[in-house]
Chains A and B, each alone.
Chain A
């Protein structure tokens, strides 16, 4: 699954740390340096710096309008910050189009599900393999040689993901007929199909019931555990974030107000203020 030559490729053995449950977290995968993002006069992100390490589950949390999704869009290359730089795999990332970012091994899911509603689950996930297909349009049109071989290889990868996420029973079902929780899982499957080094999840649990949330949590943990996929997630549900993530960035009004392990963040006074409000004497 680790298509981009393994996720730990820049790991320096001296770097990183080992989590309580025994997972090895590697060196720095991506570093955000002094990112500032403005829309006209509105400052969405103000001078934020943090890093993401190989193999970790990194959460970005904050109240509504804190700039979380904007941050994710900066990581995915959809927004281009006015100031600051993104260092990915040790190099400064030039201004790129989203598909170029995708080719670099960053895949994402969306807050509002963005699947092809009329297509089957299988076809939707296959679209995640698009940049693994090299056959030209002529071969693909007549279904011959490289095109046929590639389709079989890619289908095999997709079937492994279907098996992993336990969605065999809806393989041929059109996405429009699925309940919300399953659509989210299909989105995750499509992102995984790209064999990403970094997986970006925009509110993966939003709008789910308890059971669906539990399932999704398990899948996120399993993906990280099984494939070592570095995961960055935005989430509102604090319980989920604290249970899932290794380190948490807290944002409020476009600023970073906290960064650390769930415990550290939980006890950070500024974070408590932002979430619960401050009592004025």
Chain B
């Protein structure tokens, strides 16, 4: 762990993304930098071509009058041209601000206004429409640029440009503007802002995290070396461009290392594209690994008996031996031989189907991953690891080194990162990736980052003494106390519940109360397929969620979790006494979740206060009306009567009750 606030500059003074691009264009000129599937074919661009495109775009931006320090918002799905527009904006000294493409106009308005974006680069007509709507209230936007021409013919083009035309004009103005462009690229240094990313904000308005070239490039360098990434690696860029991870993987590490970024054809074709590309370096939130596993299991249920038996036999074997082989622990020659046979019969074909055959390093983060799911992939010989990070740290705080991987820790501090645990259990870190500031928000900056550069993560955790690995329990502010003084860690309980495939999401309440209660969201695909197999008819999510057999199953899950929580003395008070199954999925459009699908506890608590009261009162059912927002922004009302169930509690607490 280093303590220097200013790290030594990388060789060659590669202190900006455009500088790295120039290096890659010279060093890896004929290697692939980007691929995108379009019209059914993978189109590809080498580093040299990428350099030409980015420079043409940058010249075009100059021709449009983009100034140093301007903010350029980028909205759209992952496409090479949108990545180029970020680097082109950096080249002219502007600051790219990628936004979540599924944000509604209202949310977009706040961010565009807050950063004062003069230019907005949109993926397609849908995004342009939102920006035009935003322009009614936000007046800073001078130019809208768009990538996909479809449907754009009739728009007023006085302040609107097709990105292709911008590049064409840039090329035409090359002789005139090139010296200015080179001057601006040369002016970029370690402290220039590389990118500004808005945090999804579990509480309050999103904050603009300013990350400098030092933050991004040093972090990318350290993390690339940690996992021995190399040119020729392939990644699939499919996570939101506004998310810091995508920026680090698809720009930071890709430009530092010189590997290839592959963009899927559309969101729905992601799985097919994954298979066609076969990435070697892969990141996915636990949810995606979960979905993949569910699909495999469902398909195995439909397979012929021989195949099914073969699959289960070798998977049971692999669960024991696979992780050991990955971690380099001793296994017998016989086991090795059997694993090799399993490779031929089951593991390799399965990995190939999933598109994970070539993976050297895979990460998951963001939420806790179920041990079952984690072990499944490790058993197949996929080097799936966990990391812990946040936007303010340029992603990396801790990560698991090869050979020390477990499902319940998040690893050791990443290279160059210092971590300490405060007295109240909150995790603090300091690193070269630590953000510069929150844009136009000195107050929040000061309360998050102290004078010595330590940043509060807001998460509570502890280091395991034996291994030095960090374990995260919950959000520090969510960790509370029960009336009897016992510790209340809702996330801990929720994660245990969410490991059941039938449960998609759950929220546990109980801070300052005498017992815990919970909301449960069923997983429509898992419960739906169960209903289908058992000939249970249902017409809507709401109806399915209210069926008696479904409630019985969920109750069994809750009781199972209670039993396991009872084992842990510190947390045994967190057992769920009563629960209900919600009549709608918690949704980001209704503000109940963030765009990265984390529950906004406070908002849920306020919105469903009537349900919580009912859970604590001794009612058997509760009638409720809930406002919902449809995808097009319209609002409607859902009405339902929800059944409330009591769950059995175990161990210490139950004994106390009995003794009274």
A residues in contact (CB < 8 Å) with B: 21-22, 155-156, 159-160, 162-164, 166, 168-169, 171, 222, 225-226
Contacts and interface: CB of A to CB of B under 8 A. Distances in A.
Interface in B261-287: 265-266, 268-269, 272
B154 A222 contact: no
Given A166-B266, A169-B272, A171-B40, 10 more contacts: A22-B154, A155-B40, A159-B40, A164-B150, A168-B40, A168-B265, A168-B266, A168-B268, A222-B151, A226-B153
**B: interface residue count bin:** 10 to 19
Nearest to B38: A163
B262 to A, nearest CB: 15
B40 A162 contact: yes
Nearest to A214: B632
Contact of A169 (B39, B151, B266): B266
19 contacts: A155-B40, A159-B39, A159-B41, A160-B39, A163-B38, A163-B39, A164-B150, A168-B40, A168-B266, A168-B268, A168-B269, A169-B268, A169-B269, A169-B272, A171-B40, A222-B151, A225-B151, A226-B150, A226-B151
Given A163-B39, A171-B40, A222 B266 contact: no
Contacts of A155: 40
Contacts, number: 32
Nearest to B150: A226
Closest 5 CB pairs of A and B: A169-B268, A159-B39, A159-B40, A169-B269, A168-B265
A222 B39 contact: no
Contacts of A159: 39-41
B443 to A, nearest CB: 44
Interface string B118-153: 000000000000000000000000000000001101
A178 B488 CA distance: 48
Main SS of the interface on chain A?
helix
Contacts of B151: 222, 225-226
Contacts of A222: 150-151
A222 B152 CA distance: 11
Contacts of A166: 266
Nearest to A156: B39
B288 to A, nearest CB: 16
Contacts of A156: 39
Interface string B396-425: 000000000000000000000000000000
Contacts of A163: 38-39
Nearest to A171: B40
Contacts of A162: 39-40
A220 to B, nearest CB: 13
Nearest to B41: A159
A222 B265 CA distance: 20
Contacts of B41: 159
A234 B38 CA distance: 34
B339 to A, nearest CB: 33
Interface in B203-238: none
Nearest to B39: A159
Interface string B152-173: 0110000000000000000000
Nearest to A162: B40
Contacts of B265: 168
B609 to A, nearest CB: 32
Contacts of A225: 151, 153-154
B156 to A, nearest CB: 11
Nearest to B37: A168
Contacts of B150: 164, 222, 226
A166 B149 CA distance: 15
Interface in B31-64: 38-41
A163 to B, nearest CB: 6
A142 to B, nearest CB: 24
A203 B41 CA distance: 34
Nearest to A163: B39
A156 B39 CA distance: 7
A225 B125 CA distance: 14
Nearest to B630: A211
Of B38, B39, B266, B269, most buried by chain A (CB within 10 Å of CB) is B39
A155 B154 CA distance: 29
Contacts of B272: 169
B627 to A, nearest CB: 20
A211 to B, nearest CB: 9
A159 B41 CA distance: 9
A246 to B, nearest CB: 16
A164 B39 CA distance: 10
A193 to B, nearest CB: 14
A234 B269 CA distance: 33
A226 B151 CA distance: 7
A21 B155 CA distance: 11
A225 B40 CA distance: 24
B291 to A, nearest CB: 15
Contacts of B153: 225-226
A20 to B, nearest CB: 12
A160 B150 CA distance: 12
A179 to B, nearest CB: 14
B487 to A, nearest CB: 46
Q: Which of A156, A159, A163, A168 has the most CB of B within 10 A?
A: A168
Interface centre among B40, B41, B154, B265 (most CB of A within 10 A): B40
A90 to B, nearest CB: 28
Nearest to A23: B154
